[in-house]
Amino acid sequence: MGAWGRRVPECQPLGFACQTGSRQRRHFTSPQQIAQMFIANSGSQKLQGEAECTVESSTIQLQDLTITRMRARSRQRSRMVITGKNGELRLYAVHHGSWALAGVREETSIGHRRFLLRRSIPLTGFEIAPETTAHVIGMPAEALPSLLDDAELTGSLTLPEARLLLSHLALTHELRPSLSNSGAQAARDAVVELLHGLLHKVANGNDANRLPSLVQLARRHADEHLQDPDLSPAAMARELHISVRSLHRAFAATGESAMAYVRRRRLEGVRRDLALGSGRSLAKVAVRWQFTDSSHLNRTFVRHYGLTPAQFTGAAKPCAAGCDETSGL
């Protein structure tokens, strides 16, 4: 008996079986059950289609992660409308065979030893090739903050990072019923970290389309931490789970380095404080926006705007109530 249980004749229904604990073993004989298997905890669905023979599935829950492994003994296909759980991320890892997902605009096929990572989107159907085996992981978007709404990553399961992830998933499936709460949390965190490693690997490969997305995320993080003294390229890269080299490569395409962006945004903050007459001294404004001292701020301000903070403040006073970012001051 292997990991999937006893071998059965083609087209023989397997029925339904459930084990105790958080681990379930399920055997499906209809497209409705198949659909429910990989859209667990998602929205509404309407089905029409056919399922030939049987799909076998085992699902475990690791805190906020839902991990399903499945095996289709023969071809499965169905037409449906599925609205996935808002913001959820999905990883489809096909060990053998193929799995086609039909979306509203296009169809995505995941082939032998390939994976697909993307946001959950509405589907209009699916088709699973005979003897397909796969893992599906559902997770909240917060688990992988460096994946934007429109991002989609594909790659090979032969990558060392992917093989390590799959080995961990197999062992977790085996041990889940006996794991304590703290053990389940540790196993969950390990899955997420291994996914980060796989994402990092693909992002550092030939996926140039992700560079604009990385810049957007890095800028968003910088804007939220402009007054943080620890804000740096290393901190930004760490937040996005990428290398500093990848961060610099992404910003290079914009013509402005990561720290040049941070300096420009901090100077804009200084300019707003001066224009609004916050009452802070120049030294306090410098500290607030992470300049070494007032002299450092003065030099940087002149270099960027062509006038000193004092000159800017004098020019801004007549229109303090009406100046904005487009005033030219």
What is the per-residue pLDDT for 22? 38
CATH of the domain at 274: 1.10.10.60
Q: Are residues 156 and 91 part of one domain?
A: yes
Q: Are residues 52 and 170 part of one domain?
A: yes
Q: Are residues 47 and 136 part of one domain?
A: yes
Q: Are residues 65 and 100 part of one domain?
A: yes
Domain that holds residue 126: 23-203
Q: Are residues 41 and 139 part of one domain?
A: yes
- From 183, 203, 223, give the residue that closes a domain: 203
For the chain, what is the largest distance between any 2 Cα atoms, rounded to a whole number of angstroms?
87
What is the per-residue pLDDT for 99? 86
The DSSP string of 243-256 is -HHHHHHHHHTTTS
Q: 300-314 burial by CB neighbour count: b if 16+ within 10 A, else e?
A: bbeeeeeeebeebbe
Instruction: Tell me what the mean pLDDT of segment 266-288 comes to.
Output: 88
Q: Are residues 198 and 50 part of one domain?
A: yes
**Predicted confidence (pLDDT) per residue in 167-202, tens digit:** 999 999 999 999 999 999 999 999 988 988 887 777
Q: Within a domain: residue 10? A: no
Q: Within a domain: residue 270? A: yes
Q: Give the confidence band of 16 by pLDDT, cuts at 50, 70, 90.
A: very low
Instruction: Give percent above pLDDT 70 in the chain.
Output: 68
**Predicted confidence (pLDDT) per residue in 58-96, tens digit:** 889 998 899 999 888 888 777 655 555 556 888 999 999
- List, edge to edge, every strand of the sheet that includes 45-51: 45-51, 76-82, 123-128, 99-103, 107-110
What is the per-residue pLDDT for 217? 84
Q: Within a domain: residue 153? A: yes
**Predicted confidence (pLDDT) per residue in 200-234, tens digit:** 777 655 444 455 567 888 898 999 999 999 999 98
Q: Give the confidence band of 111 by pLDDT, cuts at 50, 70, 90.
A: confident
Q: Are residues 168 and 35 part of one domain?
A: yes
- Residue 127, pLDDT above cutoff 80: yes
Looking at residue 90, its amino acid is: R
Q: Are residues 235 and 96 part of one domain?
A: no
15-19, 122-126, 152-156: segment of lowest average pLDDT: 15-19
- From 255, 272, 293, give the residue that closes a domain: 255
CATH of the domain at 68: 2.60.120.10
Q: Within a domain: residue 9? A: no
* Residue 110 near residue 98 (C-beta atoms within 8 A): yes
**Predicted confidence (pLDDT) per residue in 44-59, tens digit:** 333 334 444 477 888 8
Q: Are residues 163 and 71 part of one domain?
A: yes
Instruction: Choose between 18 and 212: higher pLDDT.
Output: 212
Q: Are residues 220 and 143 part of one domain?
A: no
Q: Give the confidence band of 315 by pLDDT, cuts at 50, 70, 90.
A: low
- List, edge to edge, every strand of the sheet that includes 132-139: 23-28, 55-62, 65-72, 132-139, 89-96, 114-119, 152-156
The number of folded domains in the chain is 3
